[in-house]
A and B are shown apart, each in its own frame.
Chain A
Amino acid sequence: MGITPDRFQQGLSYEAWKAQMTRNRERFEENERDAPLTEQDLAAFRALPRPLHVMVLAEDWCGDVVANLPLLGRIAGETRKLDLRVFLRDQNLDLMDQYLNEGTYRSIPVFAFFDDEFREIAVFIERPRSVTELRDRKRREIYASDAGFGSPADPIDALPEDVRQRLHDALVKMRTETKSFADREVVRQLRELVTRAPAGRG
């Protein structure tokens, strides 16, 4: 598992990644601007004894990338302790297939943290489990609140247009209401990953 120093340097810088985005850049930068970072969060990263290399696998069409990579980018920019290189997933499947979610899915983003000798010390994939669980529970509650919505497992096209609109509005509201929790959970998990890892200890 991992990446060689030469291959790592072939990745895009964070700024180059943003420059090549063909969609969702406005939302991406809004998420970067609004990242809910506390001084304690930033202090934890600044306390790293040495900067970490972070290999990022991403694509600009992915909602979890647009939500979570800006948080990592903002931490890197504020602390100068994370050296990010971004690789487009679909052009780097050899890297992607080292980090399959549950050993099966090519979920992104992947943030793989390496020490200065490129030993892997921690990996973040897609989003925290707590976020998935909360949103799954909220989604089930929404479906249960209106018999017209059917089941979450039913295809969207089976719903009449007016019902589809109601469901859309309810899901958008839920996502908006859970965003701050999700952002905080991502930051918390990133902080835990780097500070618990051997190279993160001073």
Chain B
Amino acid sequence: MAMRPIFSALMRNKAGLALIVVQVAITLAVICNSLFIVLERSTRVGRPSGMDETGTFTIDSLGFAADYDVRDTIHADLARLRALPGVIDATSTNTTPLTNGGWSTGVTTEPGRGVDSSGVQPAAMYFMDEHGLDAFGVRLVEGRAFQAGDVREFNQNTRIQSSVAILTQALADVLFPDGGAVGRQIYGIANDNQPVTVIGIVERLQVPWVGWTDVEQSVLVPAIQIDGNFSRYLVRAEPGQRDALMPQVEKALQDGHSGRLVRRMRSIEEARTRVYRQDHAMMSILGGTMVAMLVITGLGIVGLTSFWVTRRMKQIGTRRALGALRGDIRSYFQTENALMIGFGILLGALLTYGFNAWLMQNFNTARLPWPYLPMGALAMAVLGQLAVLGPASRAASVTPALATRTA
């Protein structure tokens, strides 16, 4: 199909052309950037925490009775929980992934680097006892798990006393790029100058804060915090037993000591849902916006092309009378549409990267990877061709006899 005459005819219908071009350009910019954000969020939401999310849950205990002894209660509670049928294991802990709350530290391979931030790797600290790895359901890939003798109790006065730790693979890789982390010493767990020996590496255990850049960098510390009257337990149930087990655990703890509140029992799955709620909402909103933009643009193309077909009925009849096949008429409108969408894509490319630059500056988003633009352009071209199909077919069905009818 001849482009030049179609192009010159389009140039004489600038208002309609501009309408579609601007609409396509804006849609392309919104679609590309929204899709990028949605996929980025989707990846973030879908990444594994490293623990057994389906079988685990946490529950908090806060003693209020005058005779409440947190150390004794923790040990009694853990024994009681581990004895429950359907429990794989249980541990005392400070936090879990997907909660956006926990302890962080800076880990180094040399002492005294705390004041000098170079070489310090940010990491989350998970406290647990010798049952911790099983309770979390993390996979040990190197070294050994904690033993009872590794576990130290601590409070605000004593600080962390542990002398061994387990690293996530990501943290081990960044601290010891050449490998061989097990058996080496790190600093920053107990204090900046006290060495802690790495005894093992787990495949993955994400930090509690889902927005962290170094989300895979965690250190597992064999410690039980004996502070105030608060304790938190992580319980891992046999597959399929979690929901049935949760009320039993709650009752067992309540029965174990009446001078306390047992609260905030929450599965890790629920924690995931809660922590990513905003991301899901944003994905839904952006997804809806994308669909709406595509529908509006598609309808805009259908509307304008239908209007042009109606306005050009006589012209179409004349073209048919002069020898145009039905296919020629159809392809005329398809080519015209492709040209309009092409202009829209050119303008849209500028808008897309302009919009991305604005998002980067104001919302700290990443740079849009280049494949999004050709993919978006292809989507717009397909949308355009689909939208023009109906009006173009209507135009192709115009009878050539229309040419001899008076307007």
Are A and B a genuine interacting pair, yes or no? no
